[in-house]
Amino acid sequence: MLLLNGILSLMVTLFMLIRMKEYQEWKIIQGIVFIGWVLVEFFLIQEANTLKISYLILGGAILLGGIILGRSSSDERGNN
């Protein structure tokens, strides 16, 4: 799962750099995968610490960033 998380992060970064259309959707997927990974890890180990909470907040920020970028992108397309 860690490898999937890393590859997905690299893909999203590449999509952003080449300004691929709809990269915002990939950012949302990245946030969901990241949050899911932390939650599965939490349920398997059953230990809460500040690092896991930080990762959940980071995953939420990635997810929220993708949603905000998607909305602003759709607003720009609607205005043109």
How much is the pLDDT for 56? 92
Q: Which two tokens stand for residue 23?
A: 């990269």
Looking at per-residue pLDDT, the higher value among 79 and 65 belongs to 65
Quick check: 61 pLDDT over 90? yes
CB distance 41 to 73 below 8 Å: no
The dihedrals phi and psi of 60, each to the nearest 5 degrees, come to -65, -40
In total, the chain counts a number of residues equal to: 80
Would 68 be classed as within a structural domain? Answer: yes
Domain count for the chain: 1
Would 64 be classed as within a structural domain? Answer: yes
Instruction: Please write the tens of the pLDDT for every residue from 2-60.
Output: 667 778 878 888 887 887 777 788 888 888 988 998 899 889 988 878 988 998 999 99
Q: What is the pTM of this model?
A: 0.75
Would 80 be classed as within a structural domain? Answer: no
Mean pLDDT value across residues 67-72: 84
Q: How far apart are CA 10 and CA 80, in angstroms?
A: 31
